[in-house]
Structure formats: C-alpha cells, structure tokens
Structure 1
Amino acid sequence: MARHKGLTFYEKKKRISREMVREIFVTLFYCFAAVLLAFVIVFSIGMKISMIGVSMEPALYNGQEVLINRFVYKMLSPKRGDIIAFLPNGNPNSHYYLKRVIGLPGERVQIINGYVYINGELLAEDESYDKIADAGIAETEILLESDEYFVLGDNRNISEDSRSGNIGPIKKETIAGRAWFKMNCDEETMGLVK
C-alpha cells in the first residue's frame, strides 16, 4: 500500500450557532427600527404635495411630487430663494401653491421694466429667469408687512403669484413649509429642491 505524502485538508462543517442566529435577528431588528424611525420622522414633519402647472419650471415640473418640510418655519423664517408651499389667502379649499420667495418682511418690492427691485435696488437674479411682461400689482411699490412675503414663480410669465391681485403678498401663517425633496418625473429617485 502506497502512502501519499503531503498536506491533507479536512473541511470542517460549519454549524449555525444560537449566537449567530441571535446576531442576525438583532441586526435585522435594528435595520427595521431605523427605517421605521426615519419614515416616521420624515412623514411627521413632512407633507407630500404635487406641483400643479408649469409656473416653477425648470425647478419643478407639472405633476412632480414634492416633500414639504412643515417643521422648519416653526423655528426659522423663510429666506430669499426658498421655495415655499402655501394656501393662497389661507383658503383651505384651494390646492397648495409652490413659489420662490423674493421679498422679505419690511421690504419694498416693485417690478420696473420687467425686473424686480427690492428697496429701490435691482435684485441680482439668475439670468435664466425671463423678463417679466406683466408687473401686476407690483407695478406700484408694495411695502411688505412684518409677516408678509413676496413670491414669484420661476417661469415668470406663466405664473400666478404675488403679482396677482387675488393672491398678493403671502402671510407667514398661510405658509405650510419649505420644499425639501422632489421626486424626479423620469426616474423614481428623490433629490433636494434648489
């Protein structure tokens, strides 16, 4: 009988111990708890609404779903450039409007020759905004009260906003919150609203 010289390997059978099963279940439990907690936090301070119309293109598109942060303005005030959700004149029977904050409380806002002026000075804005064809009520200077904001749609000439007599300046109490995340129309992904 010939013997083979060299190394021989024996494969040890792995056993699933109670400790390993326990670790797997604990890990799964913590993952589930973290996801549940994140879901509860997002939806307790958030609100999902749909963009209606083309007034905020290209930032937001018609039918695009947007998650609104309802908590942020309980601690802070809206700032210039924020996209806010509000009910026009506080009307609960209306849908939420999404517009960009242009004028802040105490400021004087006027639209002259298609451009926005704040306190008599031209507002420095992105060149992608169209020249405003209709100044509406902002043709004459508007002095915002201590709780009022002046808002415009990004698609300036196809927007019903603070220039419209039936909307006018937005009272802080009618603001639901700030646009937080948007669901992309072509992909099922979320992105920050800018």
Structure 2
Amino acid sequence: MNQEGKSFKRKSWIAAIMGMSMPGMGQIYNRELLKGMSIFVIFMALIATGFRLSVYLPDRLVIVGVTLTLAIVVTVYVFSIIEAYRKHYKQEGEYILKPYNRWYFYIAVWMLGSVLITGFVYNYTRDNIIHVYKIATKGMEPAILRGDRVLVDKTAYRRMPPKRGDIIIFVYPDDRSKVYIRRIAGLPGDMIKLEGGREVIVPHGAVYVLGDNKQNSEDSSKFGFIPLKDVVGKARQVWYSYGVDGMRWSRVGHTFG
C-alpha cells in the first residue's frame, strides 16, 4: 500500500530515539535526509580526523587530542538528538511522508551506518591509528603499572624509525593471539651481552626488548628477537589507571620519555 501523500501525526519522542540509535537518524525521520546524512558524515570524519591528528601531538598532549576528539564527537551526537527532537516538537502536528519515510528504509540506513561506524571508523582507528591497551602484568614496572590503560600509537613506526628506550606493543612470539609491552634495548646491528657473557648481534629487521622489572619480566632474553613487522605500536601516554586501590589519578597523562 502506497502511503506517500498521506498525513501522519508527528511524534517528537520517536525522533529523539531515532537520533539516539545513530547520528542523523532523527533528521531522516524528520524528512531531512540531506541534513541527516551530513551529520552522519561529519560524525565519522571527526572520529577519523581527530584521532589521526592526535598522534602527531607531543607525547604529553596525546591524551588532550584524544579527549578533545571524544568530546567533540559526543557533542555532535547529543546535538543531533536535541536538534531532531526540537525540530519535531516545534512542528508537531500532521505531516506528509517522504518516499524514504518507511520502516525498511530506516533499518537499511541503520544497518549500513553501523557497518561504517563499527567496521570502518572504529576498527580502522583501533587497528591503524591509536588504541588503548590494558596492562595486566608487572613486567614494565615502575614505568608502567599493572592496571594502566596505555594509549598506543599505531602510526609511530610508519613515520619514524624505532629508537632504543621506546616502549612498544608487539605480538608475543609464542602465542600470536597475545600482545606484550616491553622496552627496546637493541636495534638492528647492536651487540647485546647476554647472561653468562655471551654476545649476540641484533639481526636486520628485528629488535631486542627487555622489561624494566627484570625480576618479573618475560622478554627477549627468553623468547629471542622481535621482528619489526610484529611491532604493533609505540606506547605514548597513560589514558587512565585503575588498581586494587581504585582509580590512580596521578597516573593520568603519565608519559614514558
């Protein structure tokens, strides 16, 4: 049955709920397809651009860039909900459906948007730009504590070569489903003196890593060199930290330089 051209009662609360489900959906419900699509595109662009710019900041400011990006993104999201509700509320009454004001169109748009936000923006950002890792061991204490949530820059070694002293996340060689965090102690060509006095040279395309907590650290002295291709990223700053004693506010923003 074709409902186009028929009058329907406006429901402001539906516009708000639609907006909560995805940025721009409330505007589409309000028959503002272009505005809704624009809000959605702006929302995605802010996430990708904001996090991308954040990794170019000095270490001490990475958390500022990430926090500012999240604040702007949340503001756009809340604005889209309020704007959809207010627009609908001011014009409450009967209205004529647009061709796209159909339940199946809403579902299709929501599904496509979910794929774009989750599959493209979130996953791409997590895998290629920046991600937060929870530290579950004591191998890097006192520099990094168990319970720290660390901002890891996935672009660092696409922009610059690794340096001795860098704290890196890498794929654990004995179980590739896990990642470890350790400090680079040797670069390709470096001579490393092992326990017992034996010396080895770090091979091309690899690094030698050690934990700061030498009494409680599994590192290259046990599992060998780490291929550079298995380095996930560089630890830049503590996002926040939570231990058995609760939130550790003094750790927020801590850097490792």
Q: TM-score under structure 1 normalisation?
A: 0.61
Indicate the SS of the match to 2:235.
Answer: strand
Partner of 2:254 in structure 1?
191
C-alpha distance in 1 between matches for 2:174 and 2:46: 35
Letter of the 1:150 partner, please give it.
Y
Displaced runs of 4 or more, over 6 A = 32-35
Partner Cα separation in structure 2 for residue 156 and residue 35 of structure 1: 42
**Radius of gyration: which is bigger?**
1
**Structure 2 stretches lacking a partner, 5+ long:** 1-38, 55-121, 242-247
- The size of the alignment, in residue pairs, is 136
Q: Counterpart of 1:53 in structure 2: which amino acid?
A: T
Confirm whether residue 156 of structure 1 aligns to residue 214 of structure 2. yes
Deviates more, 1:82-91 or 1:171-180: 82-91
Residue 104 of structure 1 pairs with residue 215 of structure 2: no
| Matching of residues 1-194 of structure 1 within 5 Å | 36=47, 37-39=49-51, 41-42=53-54, 44=125, 45-89=129-173, 91-94=175-178, 96-111=179-194, 135=195, 139-164=197-222, 167-185=223-241, 186-187=248-249, 189-194=252-257
Identity of aligned residues (%): 29
Change (3 A) 1:41 1:91: farther
Higher relative contact order (CA 8 A, sep 6+): 1
Q: Is the contact between residue 81 and residue 101 of structure 1 (CA under 8 Å) also seen in structure 2? A: yes
TM-score (norm 2): 0.47
Q: Is the 8 A contact 2:167 2:235 kept in 1?
A: yes
RMSD, aligned α-carbons: 2.6
Question: 2:17 maps to which residue?
Answer: none
Pair 40,71 (structure 1): closer, same or farther in 2 beyond 3 Å: closer
Q: Deviations over 1:116-141 (max 9, x none)?
A: xxxxxxxxxxxxxxxxxxx3xx7521
> Which letter does structure 1 place at the counterpart of 2:190?
E
SS of residue paired to 1:100: strand
Which has more helix, going by share of residues? 2
Task: State the Cα distance separating 1:91 from its structure 2 match.
Answer: 4.1
Deviations 1:17-65 (A, max 9, x none): xxxxxxxxxxxx9xx9897542465572112111121111111111211
Mapped partners of 2:131, 2:197: distance in 1: 35
